[in-house]
Amino acid sequence: METVLAYFKMGSKYDIPRLRQEAVWRLERCYPSTTLDAYKSRSEPRPIVLRKGEVYEVALLALREYNSLHQLLPAALYKCCTVPDLERIIRASSVFVEQPSAALQSEFWKKMYFGRSKLQISHLDDTFWYLDGELSELCTRKTKCTATMKTMQAEAPHDILKYSPTALSSFSTLNPDAADDACADCVAHWKSRHEEGRRRVWAKLREIFDIPVPDDGFV
C-alpha cells in the first residue's frame, strides 16, 4: 500500500497521469464504495500488504483529493469506524511526509464522530431489524428458534455499543451458534433479512458520513 500511495503522490506532483491512474485503480479495488457486493468481493490485482495506519491514510487522501478520489471515501471512512483504537493507529502513521492540515484533520474527525454515531443508529434501525422476533413461516423448531432469537436480541447491543460496528459483518460472525440451535429455515430467513439490512446501510454511507456529490464541490 505504501507503493500505491507513493504512485499517487508522484503522479500528482510530477503530472504523470499513468502513475496516478494506476494508483487510483488499485485503491478502488481495495475500497469499492459502489455496492455492498463490490466491497465484500474486493480484491487486489496483486497482493497488497495492509498496514495498521492504512485506513486513516486512504481516508485523508480521499478527503484531500476529493475531486478525483471521492468514490473511495465511503468505504474508507467505514473501515476507519471498524478500527477499535484509531487514535493509536493515527499516531503510528508515517506515509504522509507533511503533517495534514488542521482543516483536513478537522473535517476527518467531524465525519468520523458524527458518522460513527449515525452508523450505529442505522445498524439498529436497518441491520438488526431481523431481531424483531419474526420466525420463518416454515419454522420446524419454534421453541428452539424462539430461544435463539431471544439470545441474539440480548447479545446484539454489545456489537452496537463497541467502537467497532460489526453489523456489516456476515450473519455467521454475529451469530455463530444460531445454525446449531435454530432450524435451517429460520436461519436462512434471518440471514436474508440481515443481508437486506446491510444493503440499506451501505446505500446510505454517503449520507451517514455527509459526503456531497462531486458536482456540489467540497470544503
Residue 137 confidence class, pLDDT cut points 50, 70, 90 = very high
The one-letter amino acid at 120: Q
Average pLDDT estimate for 52-64: 77
Angle at 88 between CA 156 and CA 42, to 5 degrees: 60
* Structure confidence by residue, pLDDT tens digits, 153-167: 887 766 655 544 555
Which of 35-39, 70-74, 164-168 holds the top average pLDDT?
A: 70-74
Residue 80 confidence class, pLDDT cut points 50, 70, 90 = confident
The full set of domain ranges for the chain reads 2-116, 127-203
CA torsion, ordered 167, 170, 173, 175, to nearest 10 deg: 80
User: Helix, strand, or coil here: 69?
Assistant: helix
Predicted pLDDT at 53: 63
Average pLDDT estimate for 125-150: 92
Lowest mean pLDDT among 93-107, 123-137, 159-173, 187-201: 159-173
CA torsion, ordered 65, 69, 73, 76, to nearest 10 deg: -100
**pLDDT at residue 87 above 60?**
yes
Report residue 170 as a C-alpha cell.
Answer: 456476515
Average pLDDT estimate for 67-71: 78
**pLDDT at residue 152 above 90?**
no
**pLDDT at residue 8 above 60?**
yes
Angle at 131 between CA 129 and CA 136, to 5 degrees: 105
* Structure confidence by residue, pLDDT tens digits, 175-186: 777 778 899 999
**pLDDT at residue 12 above 50?**
yes
**pLDDT at residue 189 above 70?**
yes
Predicted pLDDT at 186: 95
Which of 20-34, 53-67, 194-208 holds the top average pLDDT?
A: 194-208
d(CA 156, CA 23): 39
